Structure 1
Amino acid sequence: MNDNLAQKIDVLLIMKQLNILIDKAKTSSFNLWILNRVLWRVIPFNNPHQFKIESITDKSVSIRMPYIRKNMNHIKGLHACGLATLCEYACGLQLMNVLGAANYRIIMKDLRMEYFYQGKTDVSVTFNFDKKQADTLLKDLNESEAVYKTFELPVYDANKNHICSAHVNWQIKGWDKVKTKM
């Protein structure tokens, strides 16, 4: 077996395990706690932010970004890049949850942010994406090798102020269509 195929199999096994853990987290606060810890470890870039998945269902995910020093900019507001990362994280996680991480490769193509209000408390983002939306997307995917889809995610602070909105564009394709070079 060549190294490229072995690496692809490893990725698919990890993605399948992620989907199992996500499914358990939907009905168990303990497994939700585990999911948060696992994702902090396997996505080390996100670890310092301490993003916390508050809930995950078949229809939506809600994630909180705490107002802590590591998330602040030089004027003690939440850092713009941290807010962008929060939105990418929420959107990507829910896409993997509904579409199946082991079935489709989901990769961000581009991200555009609009900022409205300075974050001075914890903020939260909720991204809604369900089976009905997935079916529409997969119908388009049957007609092409890859689909590009942009989603909007508004972020609110603890006082319900609209802090920012992200416009995240994803490329979605079947793992069998992914070509990689080593």
Structure 2
Amino acid sequence: MKQLNNLINKAKGSPFNLWMLNQVLWRAIPFNSPHRFKITTVTDENVVITMPYIRRNLNHIKGLHACGLATLCEYTCGMQLMNVLGAANYRIIMKDLHMDYHFQGKTDVSVDFRFTPQDAAQINTELESTDAVFKTFKLPVFDSQKNHICTATVNWQIKKWDKVKTKI
């Protein structure tokens, strides 16, 4: 987990390391690899990930597949949470995901998710009095023509690793 955080931090200031982060994640998360999600921006405040309009991401009517869009949103949100909170410090698990579809995707789409260190400080404060925090985030997805394709509502459980119980 520390290696992932180090790679993310390097990618913030280097196009080469951003490319390397994408390569590593395509290998480390093999079920996302065929989609060719691409992190185009990563900062302390936000992450932008695109999903290309390619054959493997299409449904039977040549629009972007609903499940691919849902995966894109979950991936983007999770990536920024790990970026800001730190994967070595917190266990982050998606509790539920709800999608609202507005427009058929016929070009590349992207998600720009903002989660800042100030947001993380609020979570830290809440975790001082409880074992786990549930946070819900909305992620709008837009295509290259700025059409609002869909909106994801993702609910995450966030826990410090020392509060995680792995045995019953």
| TM-score bin, normalised by smaller chain | over 0.9
Is 2:133 aligned against 1:147?
A: yes
Residue 64 of structure 1, aligned match among 50, 54, 65: 50
Is 2:155 aligned against 1:169?
A: yes
1:75-120 Cα offsets, whole Å, 9 max, x none, are 0000000000000000000000000100000010000000000000
Q: Which amino acid aligns with 2:159?
A: K
SS of residue in 2 equivalent to 1:18: helix
1:38-65 Cα offsets, whole Å, 9 max, x none, are 0010100100000000010000000000
Q: Which amino acid aligns with 2:84?
A: V
Distance 1:74 1:180 in 2: 41
Percent of aligned positions with the same letter in both sequences? Answer: 71
Residue 82 of structure 2, aligned match among 70, 86, 96: 96
Is 2:70 aligned against 1:84?
A: yes
Q: Which runs of 5+ in 2 are unaligned?
A: none
Distance 2:115 2:98 in 1: 19
Distance 1:152 1:137 in 2: 17
Distance 2:62 2:167 in 1: 43
Q: Return the TM-score normalized by structure 2.
A: 0.99
Residue 179 of structure 1, aligned match among 157, 165, 168: 165
**Matching of residues 7-156 of structure 1 within 5 Å:** 15-156=1-142
Distance 1:40 1:169 in 2: 24
Distance 1:181 1:163 in 2: 41
Distance 2:119 2:160 in 1: 17
Q: Return the TM-score normalized by structure 1.
A: 0.91
Distance 1:54 1:114 in 2: 24
List, as ranges, runs of 4+ consecutive aligned residues in structure 1 with deviation greater than 2 Å: none
Q: CA RMSD in A?
A: 0.9
SS of residue in 1 equivalent to 2:103: coil
Q: Which runs of 5+ in 1 are unaligned?
A: 1-14
How far is the alpha carbon of 1:137 from its aligned partner?
Answer: 1.3
Bigger fraction of residues in helix: 1
